[in-house]
Amino acid sequence: MTPDKKVKILATLGPATKGIDDIRQLVEAGVNIFRLNFSHGEHADHAMRFEWIREVERQLNYPLGILMDLQGPKLRVGRFAEGKVQLQRGQALRLDLDATPGDAQRVNLPHPEIIAALEPGMDLLLDDGKLRLRVTAKHADAIDTEVLNGGELSDRKGVNVPQALLELSPLTEKDRRDLTFGLELGVDWVALSFVQRPEDIIEARQLIGDRAYLMAKIEKPSAVTQLREIAQLSDAIMVARGDLGVEVPAESVPQIQQRIITTCRQLGRPVVVATQMLESMRFSPAPTRAEVTDVANAVAEGADAVMLSAETASGDYPLEAVQMMSKIIRQVESGPDYQAQLDVGRPQAEATVSDAISCAIRRISGILPVAVLVNYSESGNSTLRAARERPRAPILNLTPNLNTARRLSVAWGVHSVVNDRLRQVDEVVSTALEIAQAQGMASRGDILLITAGVPFGKPGSTNTLRIETLL
């Protein structure tokens, strides 16, 4: 499992994955971390896939991250007497708390928090944005709207409210049950949906504690507005372009994506770009040129990871999708301008020993033909700071902590090796050289940079940088 790319691949599992052999093939094709989507499937399904991943991790001796993605609140209209209606532009439609089946004049909206938050002039989006309504009047238990974009509306279609901040927790009762189950399984990451404000991250943290790392999904306009505060409270960020692309104008999504990537890099938080990256490969063995460009742009912008959703969860060509994504990543990373573009977006260093060493690593690896940077890290924090600099050389993270290695499965350029003897290692340099050679990341005559903390094994103590040649 010698690394051949720096940007990681996060793949969603679902019915398309039939067993351990499928998981192993996905990993060998380039997957670094797996997503269990709790919007679908039963707990037993997720537990089975969790065990498959852990078995492949043992077989390959290669740390694999597992992310559970919580569903979050699902806002939907009620039901219609005839199952569906046709809405015409300019007509009036009332949405109310009455559970009686609706018609073309009114329908149930079983979410009082939406009615409370809306004001005349605000818009609602229905069915993934296909229909747009504008609020004309507000009542205690209903809102009146005018249809701006009409079309067919059927039972239980989704509702998006881009212009209002809802007094709604991102964690439903289902999410809380799922979270308890996932934490008991031992997931490494929790992805939080429906994040609107920093307080949502604090609420989730109180439930998760230190049992998993927290990835905030940016899919609401209010979360974009408070992006920096949310990112500071999170361990990683996901650019969730599905709902985000519904709630903001489509032409704004690329700019928002770039802003999120830039902010996360400045803060040293891994960032994942997600949703519809190779969507056509659900049913085709080859992607569109636009999809290839989309993945390539995310890589070039400096994302830590790119994600596959339905392509690997339920598509007809999951392995081919991973193979194609790996090819795109490698192609971009081998380009003459890739490193230069990353250097242009280099974040401002903080006045810390760790950042000073990380900046030195980047400079040295740009001057000398460094084969690999070897970093000893108990917690993974110094490795993340090194990855933030986007050095030319790949990063070999040596840690005695398997949880740390799994956490770093989403981080740019990081390849982790876990060994309990690293807690007591005395010969830091010789051990680093030995493992780098064994991992196929260095050979005789290669230059290595080695960072560690003295005293060794104390988290947050990285203070040593060595330049060594493998003899």
**Digit-coded pLDDT (tens) for 223-232:** 999 999 999 9
Q: Select the CATH number that applies to the domain covering 8-72+171-333 from these four: 3.30.160.270, 3.40.50.410, 3.30.930.10, 3.20.20.60.
A: 3.20.20.60
Closest alpha carbon to 80 in 155, 133, 136: 155
More confident residue, 464 or 441: 441
CATH 3.40.1380.20 range(s) for the chain read 348-469
Residue whose token pair is 């010789």: 430
CA distance 37 to 288: 25
Helices (H), 209-240: 221-225, 227-233
Contact between 33 and 272 (Cβ < 8 Å): no
Closest alpha carbon to 57 in 24, 22, 26, 31: 24
The secondary element (H helix, E strand) that includes residue 296 is helix 289-301
- pLDDT-above-70 percentage for the chain: 98
According to the model, what pLDDT value does residue 45 have?
98
Record: fold of 84-160 = M1 Pyruvate Kinase; Domain 3 (2.40.33)
By mean pLDDT, which of 69-73, 175-179, 451-455 is the weakest? 451-455
CA distance 385 to 363: 14
The secondary element (H helix, E strand) that includes residue 326 is helix 318-333
Query: What is this structure's pTM?
Result: 0.95
465, pLDDT greater than 70:
yes
CATH 3.20.20.60 range(s) for the chain read 8-72+171-333
113-171, pLDDT tens digit by residue? 999 999 999 999 999 999 999 999 999 999 999 999 999 999 999 999 999 999 999 99
According to the model, what pLDDT value does residue 454 have?
65
CA distance 99 to 102: 8
Q: Report the catalytic residues.
A: 35, 76, 217, 275
202-212, pLDDT tens digit by residue? 999 999 999 99
SS3 147: strand
Is 3.40.1380.20 the CATH number for 348-469? yes
According to the model, what pLDDT value does residue 49 have?
98
CATH 2.40.33.10 range(s) for the chain read 84-160
DSSP 356: H
353-367 vs 381-388: helix crossing angle, rounded to 10: 50
Residue 331, CB half-sphere, CA atoms under 13 Å: how many? 12
Report CA dihedral (356, 362, 367, 370) to the nearest 10 degrees. Answer: 120
